[in-house]
Structure formats: structure tokens, C-alpha cells
Amino acid sequence: MIVVVLAAALGGLAFGQAENWFPSRWGAADQRGAANRLTPAKVLEAKNFITTGNVYQLGRTYESAMPIFGTRHFSLRIPQAFGPLGSNKMIYHDEVVSGELGQIGTQFDGLGHIGIGDLFYNGNDRKDFAKAEGLQKLGVENVGAIATRGVLVDVAAFKGVARLDGGYEITLADFEGALRKQGTEIHAGDVVLVHTGWGSLWMVDNAKFGASAPGIGLAAAQYLVDHEIVMVGADTWSMEVVPNPNPELQFPVHQLLIPRNGIYIFENLATEELARNRVYEFAFFFAPLKLKGATGSPGNPLAIR
């Protein structure tokens, strides 16, 4: 009954698991979702892309002036130095940081981040696990390392623009077209990064950056579900198209991916260098900070060729 309502809510699309989105395919107790697709074989597949030793950092800089959603914040301060200590005059600085750490700047969304009504991945009801001191299930500490093949899909290049427009839905045709143009396939267990060019607004026009975003819609997202990926990222704050073309829907792609399919999302990635260098396949390395009971993690993932 819940399922029927959701299917309707998600715009009438026939999702693969629509009637049956929990228990998850990894069992009713699973807390890792698509991270279960990560295997030694995927590591070895990834390794083979490392041929030149070039390393791309995909994380953006965390600073208080960066685009931040709503009333979230990021604050960093350097306190007075400690010391000098000892005859060797040891002195040190540290930093105090506060913020919605898993959900500001470059951010990895865990399975406890997004729900459909009160239900999260594997049908977990938030009243049962969302506690003040941390999520008691689905915390980001369960994810583990993501070392696998990475694929960049440069949709901006496919559409012949430097930057897709805000609110532009990357259709399934766009997505498949871009892959075809690049000659890239998506494999089970991959990490997929979508380059939209929207990231060029970061710290340049923050208001425009945050007001909308190009991104995949439900159809392209379903394609990723069907191809059994682990994670999808983009150079936007939302990864998916915002606003959704269906004005009744709010972040439906997040719901399709995270609670329904256990697929992770990574936002505000710096994909521009990969795009510029046409690096469409690479070894991808990331592990969330083990923030106990957190919904996500900041990060600086690596793409290596």
C-alpha cells in the first residue's frame, strides 16, 4: 500500500523494484546498500586504468564563502597558538570547525540522509534509528572504502556547451548519447560522475549556483539503477535536476537512488579537470570519514589514471 502511493508520488514511473523496495536485495538487515557491489575484482578492474600516474582531486575547498544550502553553515577558526612548550619551544596551532559536515561543500550522501516519508533504506523508520547523538542505523561509518572503476559522463560536451542550464534535465537520450560519444560503458559496481559544467559557478556566482541546477532526472537515474552502479556524483549541489520538471516532486532522484536502491550520491565534485582532459574511465578512491551515525561525509575523492 505504501509502495503504491510511492510509485504514484514518484511520477508514475515503473521502477524496477516499485512494488518491493524493501527488504533490500542485500537483505533486511543490510546497512551498506550498493557498497555491497564493491569487490576485490572491482579494485583490480580499477587498477588497470592507472597507466600514467596522474591523480585528480575531486574535492572542492571548504571555506565559509562557499555556496551553502539553506541555513547550514561552515565555520573554521584558528585559535591562539599553544605553547611554547619545552626547551625546544614546541608550538602548535589547531582549528575549530563547525558545520553540517556531511552536507556542505563536496559531500557524500549516505543511506541515512534521505527518506520517503518516514521510511529510509531497507524500510527503516526514522523514529527507530534517527537519534540525537547519531543515526543508530545507516550511519556513514558503515559504507567503507569505495575503490572501484570510475566513469565520467560529460553531458555538457555532448550537448556542445560549456555549462548546461539550471533546471535542465539530462534525459536518458542525453545520457546514453554522451556515453556513446565517449565510447564508454557503465559496469556493475562502478562510480559514475556527471559533468554538467555547473561547477564553473562555484565561488563565482554562488547565488546562481544554488538557485537551480542541471542534472539527471528519473529516467537517467533509473538507467543507473538498472546498471547496478555504486554511486553517482556531479559537479552540482544537488546531483539531480532542480527544480524537477514535475513541480510536485522534490528531489525524487535522491529517493530513487538512496532509499529505494541503496545507491550513493556525491555532490559538488570538481569534475572539470577530468572533463578537460577527457578522462572518462579511471580508478576511483574514496572512503567516507567514519563519523559515527552521520548522514554523510565531506571528502576529497581521487580519480587516478
Residues 6+ apart with CB under 8 A from 56: 273, 274, 279, 282, 302, 303, 304, 305
Judged by CB, which is closer to a copy of itself: 136, or 184?
A: 136
Return the SS3 of 234. Answer: strand
> d(Cα 256, Cα 143) in Å, to the nearest integer?
19
Could you say whether residue 91 binds a copy of itself (CB under 8 A)? Answer: yes
CB of 133 to a copy of itself, least distance (A): 6
CB of 179 to a copy of itself, least distance (A): 26
CB-side neighbour CA atoms (13 Å) of 54: 11
Return the SS3 of 137. Answer: coil
Could you say whether residue 39 binds a copy of itself (CB under 8 A)? Answer: yes
CB of 197 to a copy of itself, least distance (A): 21
Could you say whether residue 277 binds a copy of itself (CB under 8 A)? Answer: no
Could you say whether residue 112 binds a copy of itself (CB under 8 A)? Answer: yes
Q: Which stretch binds a copy of itself (CB under 8 A): 6-14, 27-35, 174-182, 221-229?
A: 6-14
> d(Cα 211, Cα 237) in Å, to the nearest integer?
10
Q: Which helix (H) or strand (E) holds 274?
A: helix 272-276
Judged by CB, which is closer to a copy of itself: 59, or 214?
A: 59
Site for a copy of itself in 192-251 (CB under 8 A): 248-251
Q: Which helix (H) or strand (E) holds 56?
A: strand 55-57
CB of 252 to a copy of itself, least distance (A): 5
Could you say whether residue 28 binds a copy of itself (CB under 8 A)? Answer: no
Q: Beta 107-109 vs 296-298: how paired, if at all?
A: antiparallel
Could you say whether residue 131 binds a copy of itself (CB under 8 A)? Answer: yes
Could you say whether residue 183 binds a copy of itself (CB under 8 A)? Answer: no
CB of 201 to a copy of itself, least distance (A): 18
- Other CB atoms within 10 Å distance of the CB of residue 36: 16
CB of 83 to a copy of itself, least distance (A): 8
Binding mask 135-174 for a copy of itself (x = CB under 8 A): x-----x--xx-x---------------------------
Could you say whether residue 289 binds a copy of itself (CB under 8 A)? Answer: yes
Q: Which stretch binds a copy of itself (CB under 8 A): 19-27, 33-41, 193-201, 272-280?
A: 33-41
Residue positions counted in the chain? 305
Beta-bridge partner residues of 160 = none
Assess contact for 293 and 131: CB atoms under 8 A.
yes
With CB under 8 A as the rule, give the number of residues binding a copy of itself. Answer: 99
> d(Cα 14, Cα 7) in Å, to the nearest integer?
7
Could you say whether residue 187 binds a copy of itself (CB under 8 A)? Answer: no
Q: Beta 107-109 vs 264-267: how paired, if at all?
A: antiparallel
Could you say whether residue 12 binds a copy of itself (CB under 8 A)? Answer: no
Give Cα separations from 296 to 105, 142, 216 (angstroms): 11, 11, 21
Find, among 303, 233, 300, the residue nearest to 273 by Cα.
303
Q: What is the largest CA-CA distance in the chain?
A: 72
CB of 144 to a copy of itself, least distance (A): 6
Judged by CB, which is closer to a copy of itself: 173, or 250?
A: 250
Could you say whether residue 72 binds a copy of itself (CB under 8 A)? Answer: yes
Which position among 19, 63, 205, 273 is part of the footprint of a copy of itself (CB under 8 A)?
A: 63
